[in-house]
Amino acid sequence: MGKQPVKMRAVVYALSPFQQKIMSGLWKDLPGKISHKVSENWISATLLLAPLVGTYTYVQNFKEKEKMEHSHLSIPYVSRCNRLTGHALKMFTMFQNCSIIH
């Protein structure tokens, strides 16, 4: 048996320089794709983000405490909205009016 030549077709893919829809499939149904990925991987995302958010919160709180400890006249920390209320406000104004403290 001899070798017989076989006709083959070659498929050549080329992109026309005038075709602009190269990445249109990427943007199609983007919210659906994102929600699908999040619903599949929410446990992994939580395990990744929880330590990062916890570390960031701890560092910001630590820096704020250090700043308050090393300030010249420490203001009592009452709430996150930085308001002094009640007894803390009376004590702070009393210290401000004292002639010993500059």
Work out the number of other CB atoms within 10 angstroms of the CB of residue 95: 14
pTM attached to this predicted model: 0.39
Q: What is the pLDDT along the chain (102 residues), one digit of tens a residue?
A: 668 877 878 877 777 777 667 677 788 888 899 889 889 999 998 999 999 999 999 999 999 988 888 765 555 554 444 455 556 666 666 665 554 444
CA distance 80 to 101: 26
